[in-house]
Amino acid sequence: MSVGSWLLWGFVATIVLTTIMSGTQGLRLTRMNLPYMLGTMFTPSRDRAKLLGFAVHLVNGWVFSLLYVAAFEAWGRATWWLGASIGLVHAAFVLTAGMRILPDLHPRMASETHGPTVTRQLEPPGFLALNYGVRTPLSALAAHAVFGAILGAFYRVASG
């Protein structure tokens, strides 16, 4: 495994993913904000949550990119479309299983069945994160596909 290549392109791919998600938020395509959602796991302060969440999101991006890299190494090759394909699977997982279990993991997220409480007030994402806007699945799929495509296009497979 090429550690330097993974660190560099894992970082770049995460930044691009975050930029795309922020852009789709700015264009009012979705209200899903992963750094904010991650940050509010640790603090209720909006400003601190954004900052902390961004750091956690960056580390998460690196960690997830390790799985992509592991797949590339196992296949012995890395191409943009292989990366994009993993990205689509990744996004589908996040949107279905990930978003379903999030209210149970997140200490400040309300549940769809019980509603908000004093400690849990953050709107839950719902199936496919549709609560955050009907275009949320599309935004997430596109962002993760680009994330994977960047890794696939630029990561240098050590065994290749």
Partner 1 sequence: MERIGDHAAIGNGRAAALVSRGGSVDWLCWPRFDSPSVFAALVDDAAGRWTLAPTAPFRSERRYLPGTNVLETRFVTASGALTVTDFMPVASPEEQRRLLLPDHELVRLVSCEGGSVELATVFEPRPDYGRERPRLRDAGELGLRAETRSGLLTLRADLPLAIDGAARATGRAVLRAGETRHLSLSYADEWPAILPPLGAPTREALARTVRWWQGWVGQLRYDGPAREAVVRSALALKLLVYAPSGAVVAAATTSLPERVGGELNWDYRFCWLRDAALTVRALFGLGFRDEAEAFVSWLLHSTRLTQPELRVLYDVHGNAPARERTLDHLAGHRGSRPVRVGNGAADQLQLDVYGEVIDAVTHFVRSGGTLDRETQRMLCALGDQVCRSWQGPDEGIWEPRSGRGHNTHSRVLCWTALDRLLELHAKGHLCSAPVELFERSRAAIRRDVEEHAWSARLGSYTARLGGEELDAALLLLAWYGFEDARSERMRATFSRIRERLGARDGLLYRYRSGDSPGEGAFGICSFWGVEVLALGAGSAQEARDTFERLCRFSNDVGLFAEEIDPVTGEALGNFPQAFTHVGLINAALSLEQRLRGEGTLPHAVRSRAELEEAGA
Q: Quick one: 108 or 144, whose CB is closer to partner 1?
A: 108
The answer to whether residue 139 forms part of the interface with partner 1 (CB under 8 A) is no
Q: Quick one: 86 or 102, whose CB is closer to partner 1?
A: 102
Question: Which of helix, strand or coil describes residue 108?
Answer: coil
Q: Where are the alpha helices (DSSP H) in 27-133?
A: 34-39, 46-75, 80-93, 99-105
For the chain, the residue count is 160
Residue 45 tokens read as 């302060």
Q: Rounded to the nearest whole angstrom, what is the least distance from the CB of residue 156 to partner 1 in the complex?
A: 38
C-alpha span between 37 and 54 (Å, rounded): 10
Binding piece for partner 1, criterion CB under 8 A, among 78-86, 89-97, 110-118, 152-160: 110-118
Question: Which of helix, strand or coil describes residue 122?
Answer: strand
C-alpha span between 147 and 111 (Å, rounded): 30
Q: Of the candidates 76, 97, 101, 115, which one interacts with partner 1 according to CB under 8 A?
A: 115
Interface residues for partner 1 in 29-88 (CB under 8 A)?
Answer: 31-33, 36-37, 40, 43-48
Q: Quick one: 34 or 84, whose CB is closer to partner 1?
A: 34
Q: Rounded to the nearest whole angstrom, what is the least distance from the CB of residue 21 to partner 1 in the complex?
A: 11
Question: Which of helix, strand or coil describes residue 115?
Answer: strand
Taking the mean position of all CA atoms in its chain, how far away is CA 17? 8
Footprint on this chain of partner 1 (rule: CB under 8 A): 25-26, 28, 31-33, 36-37, 40, 43-48, 108, 110-118, 121-125, 131-134
